[in-house]
Amino acid sequence: MDRAQKEELVTSLSGVFKNTSVVVVAHYSGLTVAQMSKLRRQMKASGASVKVAKNRLAKIALEGSDVAHVGNLLKGPTIIAYSSDPVAAPKVAVDFAKAHDKFVILGGAFGTTALNVDGVKALATMPSLDELRAKLVGLIQAPATKIAQLSTAPAAKLARVFAAYAKENEAA
- How does residue 62 score in pLDDT terms, banded at 50, 70 and 90? confident
At residue 172, the pLDDT reads 63
pLDDT band at 119 (very low <50, low <70, confident <90, very high): confident
Q: Under 8 Å CB-to-CB from 69, ≥6 apart: which residues? A: 109, 114
> What was the pLDDT predicted at 35?
92
Averaged over 17-36, what is the pLDDT?
A: 88
The maximal CA–CA distance of the chain, rounded, in angstroms, is 101
For residues 107 and 124, what is the distance between their CA atoms, to the nearest angstrom?
Answer: 12
How sure is the predictor about 64, in pLDDT bands with cuts at 50, 70 and 90?
confident
Average pLDDT estimate for 160-172: 77
pLDDT for residue 153: 66
32-51: average pLDDT: 91
Q: From residue 127, how far is each of 1, 131, 134, 168 by CA, in Å?
A: 40, 6, 10, 54
> For the chain, what is the mean pLDDT?
84
Q: What is the pLDDT of residues 78-110, one digit of tens each?
A: 899 998 888 888 999 999 999 988 899 998 888
